[in-house]
Amino acid sequence: MQPETPNLWQYAPANSPLPLPDGPMLVTRKSIHYLSKQGDNAESKESLNLQEIQKYCSQFTCEGESIDSILSQENSSLLQDRKPFLLLGELANPFQLNRLNLGPMPIFIIRLENLCRTYADALDNRMINPGIHHVTLARSDGWWEKAHMAMATIEQMKSMITWLNNGRRAGDWKPVKPAEGRIRFENELQLQCPSMDMLHWDGVSETVKQETPQPSGPSLELKQIMVPIHTKWGCYDSRGKLIRSSLVGQRDFHTNYFRRGSSKKWQDILKIE
């Protein structure tokens, strides 16, 4: 039985940000609308621009009702006034997202390619001591995994960055546009990321040698996507390796990895526009 409201979605700081949505949804203050898409999921030859992203998102419905119809009933901005924003950790949990009182937000499943979610080398102690490790983005050759993307208004984006910065408009978390890797819509909801055994470490970098699964959705122009990154410490450096949040949970990371390495500067882990 799937939760019908964001307040019923499971959340515990020690297990942050899990559990995350398995499929697309539209989260409002009182309801979770589970979305589905009908029609062709074939990969397009070119990456989608903003208008094409908005059009693609409009093909998702909830029991036949369009996203714009639900947004209109909530007196909220329609898809044409929203832009892509990656939700890499806490912000993808409907319970946490609803606590920020941002207003309705459609969330879609995307695939990261040659990019991964990893832990920032910082602690947020507002909900638990010693704190939560938020998730950021880093390059990872050959890697793929599912993640979440919101179609958000500019004000919603600003509010999410402000929350990451502990209520400050200016802080260590900044919204940027990635300039490497590939991000695409993912319609194969059972897609699994590579296992730990599939990572090859040569003493300098980690790579995945296995072939990336066939696309199930079109890619997006990177210049259309905003992603929050931690600009002070970047991400945690485990003796040169990245600790991927899809393989290592919050509690496991803090207990068995944190404080046993150093940090990678954000300039060294991700190219941005």
pTM metric for this prediction:
0.94
Domain ranges of the chain: 6-269
Torsion of CA 10, 89, 220, 218, to 10 degrees: -40
Which CATH architecture is the domain 6-269 placed in? Roll (3.10)
Q: How far apart are CA 19 and CA 192, in angstroms?
A: 15
Neighbours of 131 (CB within 10 A): 14
List the chain pLDDT tens, one digit each, 273 residues.
688 999 999 988 878 888 999 999 999 999 999 999 977 665 566 899 999 999 999 999 999 999 999 999 999 999 999 999 999 999 999 999 999 999 999 999 999 999 999 998 777 888 778 878 889 999 999 999 999 999 999 999 999 999 999 877 778 899 999 999 999 999 999 999 999 999 999 988 899 989 999 999 999 999 999 999 988 777 877 888 899 999 999 888 888 888 766 777 878 889 999
Neighbours of 255 (CB within 10 A): 9
